[in-house]
Amino acid sequence: MTSRATIVAAPFACALALAGCQQETKAPAPVRPVQSVLLEADHADDTVAVGVVEPRYKTNLGFRVLGRLTARPVYVGDLVNEGQTVGIIDSTALEFAVRSAKGELAKAEAQFATARATEERQRKLITTDATTRQTLDNAEQARAGAEATVAHEQANLTKAIEQLGYSQIRADFAGVVTAVGAEVGQVVSPGQSVVTIARPDIREAVVDIGPDFPLPLEVGLPFTVSLQLLPAVQVQGSIREIAPQADPATRLRRVRIALGNPPEGFRLGATVTAKLDNRQTRMLRLPASALLAKDGENFVWIVDQPASTVSLQKIDVMADRTGARVVGGLAPGARVVTAGIHSLKQGQQVRIEQDEKP
């Protein structure tokens, strides 16, 4: 009886051992702690930059010669036409220089005429052996020197007349006077700005933007620009130029926004506010550590919060300096894993440890 009981009990013991092995094999995988971020759209519509309306094209006009300013018939705000005189300096010395150059030219022409006549006379005499070849050569040399002197004095006269023209400055194009740099009676140096003229037909908004701006600055980024005193007067624009470096004191970067057909209220010097276009205000951003690249495409691990599991999802992003902007594939409110993304598996149980900022 004892041997039969032993034989009967043995299969039960093996079955229990096998069942224990199967239970161990099917044991659930441990819950993995992960770091994640809850996607929220940037409130870019709350960010406002203040600036002024400035012309795109302007020029600083100044004299090319030293002189005392005797007339400046324009003031700030005046409209000027192309070629209009906007500044005059005392031209007495320049007029004397022209007279002196004319006198020197007349003297040189008279000497040239004498030298040419002498040469001709020596050429006639050489045919009758009434003079020597050396004398003729000297006459030819004197005539050539006198001719060169005439050319030199003609150049001096042209230069003096041109400098006399420098006693006046004229507008290169029709525009408005935006600044004056010298007053009547003041001695101005060559190149010193006397009048600044701008073209009022092409205007743009110039604003300073800080490092806390929610989106990376790039040429073509659309803005809505409005007058500060009349917010209802608006115009659409886009970034045309970005300063390569921020101001070391304020840490602000100067941005020039091209305006499309601005209304009359956008006068030069008017204070304006610039906001991101409504299409840019709902923007999702991700840290670079959350992106998983496979076969030229980008994926992220999405946390299913009720089930505490993860699933892989394809998204479209655009890289920037601080991470990536989500172009498609995700919506606000999604929770994305930001660390350890290469060791996760589809449907794996996870536990949220902490949130990161996108």
What is the pLDDT at residue 28?
60
What is the pLDDT at residue 32?
77
Phi then psi for residue 292, to 5 deg, are -115, 115
Q: Buried (b) or exposed (e) across 326-336, using 16+ Cβ within 10 A?
A: beebbeeebbb
Return d(Cα 102, Cα 160) in angstroms, integer.
9
Q: pTM higher than 0.75, yes or no?
A: no
**pLDDT tens digits along 68-86:** 999 999 999 899 999 999 9
| CA-wise closest residue to 88 among 68, 71, 67, 66 | 71
What is the pLDDT at residue 151?
96
**pLDDT tens digits along 308-354:** 888 888 888 776 656 677 767 777 778 888 877 777 888 888 887 76
Low-confidence residues in the chain, pLDDT < 50 = 1-9, 13-16, 18, 23, 281
What is the pLDDT at residue 4?
47
Return d(Cα 213, Cα 48) in angstroms, integer.
9
Amino acid type, 75:
Y
What is the pLDDT at residue 8?
47
Return d(Cα 56, Cα 206) in angstroms, integer.
10
In the chain, the domains with their CATH numbers are 32-43+283-355 (2.40.420.20), 46-55+202-280 (2.40.30.170), 62-90+167-198 (2.40.50.100), 92-165 (1.10.287)
| CA-wise closest residue to 75 among 183, 170, 167, 219 | 183
Return d(Cα 239, Cα 215) in angstroms, integer.
13
